[in-house]
Structure 1
């Protein structure tokens, strides 16, 4: 029994030594990318607010973004779907160009007054940058999936300032319905590092003010949410069955 415990300790120590620096580097890359995203979005939003006329050029902005992807990003235009495919069925390394392209596309959308979430952008940047380490480390199979999961966690955590939520989010993407604990430590370290790097750039995440009325749980409101959730679930099930 004592020898078995010593063996477990050796395996755990080896695992930590292996993944700690890798996860930290993934966090640095994702955090830096998220810092660039947040600062550029802030600039784009301020410029649009002071030049409202640019909203009339929104179709031009959409065309420009589409043209850029058509010319330079046909292999990454699948976006988040490409990330999921590579995690569950690894084939090729995610091209580095995904990071600057999705950053540019999101900035253009916000600049012209369009609607685009920052979470998808952060995930794509974090994961594509993390996957570049695959070339250096020669990762395959489970190791590469863990690396990509850490990139997702770091991207989510650094753009929203939520390390724990980013960790859980990355683990859920890796394996829906169950958690692969092999990716827990790398995802947590990458998420914490990514968030701290973003903060080091002097960027602060938006604070969500909660309305006092939301804090009070209304029974009918809770029942309504449950009913709507069941309806959506049944609808999604039938769509999935037909698909």
Structure 2
């Protein structure tokens, strides 16, 4: 076989080699995500048409517990297992994780659990990638990259943000460090999976920020124009977004510990969680905080409605946080990210109302910044903002995401995430 002698030739060979490996992986992951999104849409609309399904949520939780108890084994660890396998390859990511998390998430949403979809897509991508790694017979170092590619493919396809998907897979593993050696493979897999997914006719929700309002600028520094007072409001909001992301992560972890301590019989935990969800829904007098929360048949208290002034209740972000923490800590399946979008967009809408800022801009900032805080991935979230809302407000995106990232501390929704560079650094021998 011909060997390239120049560095550029070797790079070309390596990229071509990765592309050949990634095409079938991306096709499978993109197809699975398309199936998942179609089933998720079906489950959501079915629940809207038959609200009595909510009363079966405790039984649905027992079913999910039984599936993982008898067939899941280590698949129960979910995203953390995929991340741990990238850090330190061990027993691998079982292929059964894909059908289990797919079924568990659809059951959760069909019967009214408050959960997301990112976790399902990333777990499917990771388990399929590990299966391909075994088929390819690749070495340990390349297996980690392939797992990251599976994560990127799942994330990019499920949200329609391929560049953010690639960055997320590289950024989420460590706080303060990105695995740049996987940059091109992750981008290839994320873009291809996204193309495959939308080729099935899948449509992602469209969001919009009125840039004419958001770009009212004043020249404060020669050659650089921005609205100083709006920027100060964004910084303050970024602090709040960071605290919200931290609160969600800690609340979910503490509730999981509380369930285990208070209820020794494991299958009763989802029963109790389901009963709590039903109770809170009827206490509030609405079902606004069930499911994804992207849209609401009543047209109020959803991610989409948060982009309009008065589109959400003042405390809707807190209720969504509580509903999701209960759902996921009790053992129901799904992701955290879409609920984080809801929490952030609703909180941003509330802050905008209190501060006189544009509701759509601050909803968009909260959308990405609370996610950045809870996952410690500010760069991926900033780019996601550009992919979803356009690049006109990238300065505000960056400020909100980076501020939220720092103010969330070292907490996060992924226990397998490692600290490479602490957010608190030492200056002059003292920790600042």
Using the size of structure 2 for normalisation, the TM-score is 0.51
Which residue number corresponds to residue 232 of structure 2? 219
Consecutive unaligned residues in structure 1, runs of 5 or more: none
- CA change 1:222–1:181 in 2 (3 A) is closer
* d(CA) in 2 for partners of 1:148, 1:201: 24
Describe how 1:117-128 pairs up with structure 2 within 5 A.
117-128=116-127
CA distance in 2, matches of 1:184, 1:28: 19
Determine which structure has greater relative contact order: mean sequence separation of CA pairs < 8 Å that are 6+ residues apart, divided by chain length: 1
Tell whether 2:78 aligns with 1:79: yes
Q: Please give the residue correspondences for 1:55-74 in structure 2 after superposition, counting only pairs within 5 Å.
A: 55-74=54-73
Asked whether the 8 Å contact 1:146–1:183 carries over to 2, the reply is: yes
> Which residue of structure 2 lines up, in the alignment, with residue 192 of structure 1?
191
Query: Separation in 2 of the partners of 1:12 and 1:218?
Result: 42
C-alpha change, 1:178 and 1:17, in structure 2 (3 Å) is same
1:156 corresponds in structure 2 to: 155
The reply to whether residue 232 of structure 1 matches residue 402 of structure 2 is: no
1:66-112: per-residue Cα shift (whole Å, max 9, x none)? Answer: 11111110220000110111010101221110001000000000000
Equivalent position SS for 2:409:
helix
Higher share of residues assigned helix: 1
Task: Give 1:17 shift.
Answer: 1.9
Measured after TM superposition, the shift of residue 53 of structure 1 is 0.6
Q: In 2, Cα distance between the equivalents of 1:235 and 1:57?
A: 34
Runs of 4 or more, structure 1, over 4 Å off, are: 211-214, 227-231
Distance in 1 between residues matched to 2:66 and 2:213, nearest whole Å: 43
* Counterpart residue number, 2:23: 24
Q: Secondary structure at the match of 1:74?
A: helix
| Alpha-carbon spacing, 1:214–1:44, altered in 2? closer, same or farther (3 Å) | farther
Aligned Cα RMSD in Å? 2.4
Write the distance in 2 (CA, Å) between the matches of 1:17 and 1:91.
28
Partners of 1:23 and 1:187 within 8 A in 2: no
Which residue in the other structure is 1:143 paired with?
142
Structure 1 distance, partners of 2:212, 2:62, is 42
**Alpha-carbon shift at residue 120 of structure 1 (Å):** 0.4
Task: Tell me the distance in 2 between the aligned counterparts of 1:61 and 1:71.
Answer: 15
CA distance 1:14–1:160, shift in 2 (3 Å): same
Shift of 1:231: 4.9
Which shows bigger deviation, 124-133 or 207-216?
Answer: 207-216
Q: Number of aligned pairs?
A: 234
Alpha-carbon distance between aligned partners in 2 of 1:147 and 1:57, rounded to the nearest angstrom: 39
| 1:119-151 CA distance string (max 9 Å, x none) | 000000011001111112112322001100100
Separation in 1 of the partners of 2:196 and 2:104? 23
